[in-house]
Amino acid sequence: MNFSLPPYLIELRERTRRFIAEQVIPFESDARLTPHGPSEELRHELVALARVAGLLTPHAGKQFGGLGLNHVEKAVVFEEAGYSHLGPVALNVHAPDEGNIHLMEAVATDAQKQRWLVPQVAGKTRSCFAMTEPAPGAGADPSMLQTTAVKDGNDYILNGNKWFITGAQGAAYGIVMARMDDGSATMFLTDMDRPGIRVARLMHAMDSCFTGGHAVVEFNDVRIPAADVLGEVGKGFRYAQIRLAPARLTHCMRWLGQARRAHDAALQHARQRQAFGKALGEHEGVGFMLADNDIDLQTSRLHIWQTAWMLDQGERCNFESSRAKVVCSEALWNIVDRSVQVLGGRGVTGESVAMRIFMDMRAFRIYDGPSEVHRWSMARKLLQGNRA
C-alpha cells in the first residue's frame, strides 16, 4: 500500500478541515441541540452550509449529486467531518443514513432510487434502518428476527416491534427487516408515515449526536406493496452484510475524528496547565498517556485505511471489518478515556468538549456488533481456516 495522499485528496481534506473549524464547530453550543440529537431545523441549516461548500453527501455517486468517493477517500474526509459531532450531520455522512445510502445505491431499483435515494442525497430527507428488536427478537444475533411479513395478494403485511432505531423520529423512510414464512429475511422500503407505523417513544441514551435519537417503533398490519421490496425476497441477511461491513468501517472513520479532537484538547491542557512546578505534560504519568493516545490514533487509522483499500479492490472484508471495528472502538475509547483523565475536572464537565465525546462514544463498542460478537465471529473463521 502507498500511504501518501494524492494532491486532490489533500486539498479535499484541508477544505473539509477548514469547513468544520470555521462553519460547523461554532454551532456546537446552539440551543437547537437536544438530548435526542440536533433538531431538524439545525440539521437543515448545517446541510445548507455543506451544500454551498461543495461537501454534501460526498460518498454518494456523482449521478445522484455526491462526490463519488471511494472507501479510502471516505476514510480521509469522514475523519475530518468527525472532528465535530455535528460534522457528519452537516456533510450528510452520519449514521444510519450513510449506510442506507450505500445499500440503496447497491440494491434498489431505479424507481426506488428516484423516490427515496435522490432526496436523501440532496440532504432533504433522512432515513432509518429497522432491524433490532426487544427480546426475544433480533439483536447481535439477527437470526432471532421476530417481525413478520406475510404475503397478501400483491402486498406484504408487516407486524412487529423494533427498538434502538436510530433516527426514526422524523425519518422520511425506513428500511425494515422482516422474517418470511420460510425463516428467511426480506428488506422492505416504506415511508415512515405509512398507516400502521408508530414511533412509540424516544429512548433516553448516553449519546446525543444522532438526529432523531433512538426510538421504539411499532409495525401493526403495515401494508407494503411488493414493488417496495428492497432487492429480492428472502435475501435480507445477505443485503445486511452489504450494508454493515462498510458501515462498521465508516463508524471507525467518524469516531477517529472525535478521538483526535479529545486528544487535541488534552494535549493543549497538558501544555498550559502547571502542576508541581512544571507543565502537566512534563510529568511522565501524563506524558505517557498522550504518547499512548498518539499510538492508538495511528494504529486505528492504519486499520481503517488498510480495510478501506481492500474494499476498493473489491475484496470481501467481513473478517477485516470486524477486526477494524474491535481495534478502533476499543482504541478510540481508550484515547477519550485518557484525555478525560489528563483534563481532570475540566474533562468531566462542559468546560471541555471531551465530556460530550466520552458520553457519545461509549456506545461505539456496542452498536454494529459488540466487540465480543466480532471476536467470536473472527475466532470461528480462524479455526475454520476461512476468513471469507
pLDDT in tens, 132-155: 999 999 998 999 999 999 999 999
Whether 181 and 272 map to the same domain: the answer is: no
**105 belongs to a structural domain:** no
Which of 69, 94, 119 terminates a domain? The answer is: 94
Whether 255 and 203 map to the same domain: the answer is: no
| pTM for the whole structure | 0.95
Whether 213 and 246 map to the same domain: the answer is: no
**113 belongs to a structural domain:** no
The stretch 318-326 carries a mean pLDDT of 94
Q: Is the pLDDT of residue 1 over 80?
A: no
- What's the number of domains the chain is made of? 3
pLDDT for the residue numbered 246: 87
Whether 73 and 153 map to the same domain: the answer is: no
CATH number at residue 293: 1.20.140.10
Whether 90 and 134 map to the same domain: the answer is: no
DSSP 8-state symbol, 4: P
Q: Is the pLDDT of residue 72 over 80?
A: yes
Instruction: Compute the distance between CA of residue 380 and CA of residue 374 in angstroms, rounded to an integer.
Output: 10
Instruction: Compute the distance between CA of residue 7 and CA of residue 59 in angstroms, rounded to an integer.
Output: 19
**308 belongs to a structural domain:** yes
**118 belongs to a structural domain:** no
Whether 280 and 325 map to the same domain: the answer is: yes
Answer for the pair 101, 120: CB distance below 8 angstroms, yes or no.
yes
Which of 233, 267, 282 terminates a domain? The answer is: 233
Q: What angle do CA 189, 373, 148 make, to 5 degrees?
A: 30
In 3-state terms, the chain is what percent helix, strand and coil (to 5)?
55, 15, 30
Which of 176, 201, 233 terminates a domain? The answer is: 233
pLDDT in tens, 178-208: 999 999 999 999 999 999 999 999 999 999 9
Helix (H) or strand (E) holding 122: none
- With a pLDDT cut of 90, the percent of the chain lying above it is 94
Q: Name the pLDDT band for 4 (thresholds 50, 70, 90).
A: confident
**217 belongs to a structural domain:** yes
Whether 13 and 58 map to the same domain: the answer is: yes
Whether 242 and 338 map to the same domain: the answer is: yes
Strands 173-179 and 127-130: parallel
Q: Is the pLDDT of residue 386 over 90?
A: no
The stretch 262-283 carries a mean pLDDT of 97
**122 belongs to a structural domain:** no
Instruction: Compute the distance between CA of residue 56 and CA of residue 44 in angstroms, rounded to an integer.
Output: 12
Whether 80 and 164 map to the same domain: the answer is: no
CA nearest to 47, candidates 89, 18, 98, 102: 89
CA nearest to 335, candidates 317, 314, 313, 361: 361
CATH number at residue 30: 1.10.540.10
Q: Name the pLDDT band for 245 (thresholds 50, 70, 90).
A: confident
Mean pLDDT for all residues in the chain: 96
**131 belongs to a structural domain:** yes
**213 belongs to a structural domain:** yes
Q: Which residue, chain included where needed, has cell 474526509?
A: 77
pLDDT in tens, 324-353: 999 999 999 999 999 999 999 999 999 999
Answer for the pair 358, 206: CB distance below 8 angstroms, yes or no.
no
Whether 270 and 356 map to the same domain: the answer is: yes
Whether 241 and 379 map to the same domain: the answer is: yes
Whether 251 and 202 map to the same domain: the answer is: no
Question: Which domain range does residue 149 map to?
Answer: 127-233
Instruction: Compute the distance between CA of residue 110 and CA of residue 38 in angstroms, rounded to an integer.
Output: 31
Q: Is the pLDDT of residue 307 over 90?
A: yes
Q: Is the pLDDT of residue 376 over 70?
A: yes
